[in-house]
Amino acid sequence: MLNDIFVAFGTISRIPVPTVKNVNIKRSVIYFPLVGIFASFVLWLFQMIFINIFNINITFILNMILYFYLFQYFHFDGILDLFDGFGAQIRDIEERRKILKDSRIGAFSLLYGIFYIILYIFLIFQNKDFWYMMPIFSRFSVPVLLSISKPAFDEGLGKMYFPFKKLYLIPSFLIVSITAFISLKIFLIGIISSIISSFLLNIISNKKINGINGDVIGANICLTEIIFLLIINIK
CA distances from 61 to 69, 159, 219 (A): 12, 35, 21
CA separation for the pair 224, 207 (Å, rounded): 20
C-alpha torsion sign, points 83, 153, 227, 138 = negative
Burial label, 82 (beta-carbon count in 10 A; 0-12, 13-18, 19+):
buried
Residue 9 has pLDDT above 80, yes or no: yes
Q: Is 1 helix (H, G, I), strand (E, B) or coil?
A: coil
Domain extent, residue 137, equals 2-232
Query: Amino acid letter at 83?
Result: F
C-alpha torsion sign, points 152, 154, 158, 163 = positive
Q: What is the pLDDT of residues 112-170, one digit of tens each?
A: 999 999 999 999 988 878 889 999 999 999 999 999 999 988 887 778 999 999 999 99
Residue 11 has pLDDT above 80, yes or no: yes
Model pLDDT, residue 104 = 79
Residue 108 has pLDDT above 90, yes or no: no
Model pLDDT, residue 86 = 86
Q: Total domain count for the chain?
A: 1
Query: Amino acid letter at 65?
Result: I
Q: For residues 212 and 202, is the Cβ–Cβ distance under 8 A?
A: yes
H-state helical runs in 53-129: 56-67, 73-87, 93-101, 107-126
Which residue would you say has higher pLDDT here, 107 or 234? 234
Q: Which residues, in sequence order, are CB contacts of 157 under 8 Å at separation 6+?
A: 213, 214, 217
Model pLDDT, residue 19 = 87
Model pLDDT, residue 39 = 97
Q: Which residues, in sequence order, are CB contacts of 182 under 8 Å at separation 6+?
A: 133
Q: For residues 226 and 163, is the Cβ–Cβ distance under 8 A?
A: no
CA separation for the pair 4, 32 (Å, rounded): 10
CA separation for the pair 198, 15 (Å, rounded): 26
Model pLDDT, residue 153 = 85
Query: Amino acid letter at 35?
Result: V
Model pLDDT, residue 94 = 79
For the stretch 186-225, what's the b/e string if a residue is b when 16 or more beta carbons lie within 10 angstroms of its beta carbon? bbebbbebbbbbbeebbeebeebbebbbbbbbbbbbbbbb
Q: What is the pLDDT of residues 32-90, one digit of tens each?
A: 999 999 999 999 999 999 999 999 889 999 999 999 999 998 899 999 989 988 877 77
Residue 234 has pLDDT above 80, yes or no: yes
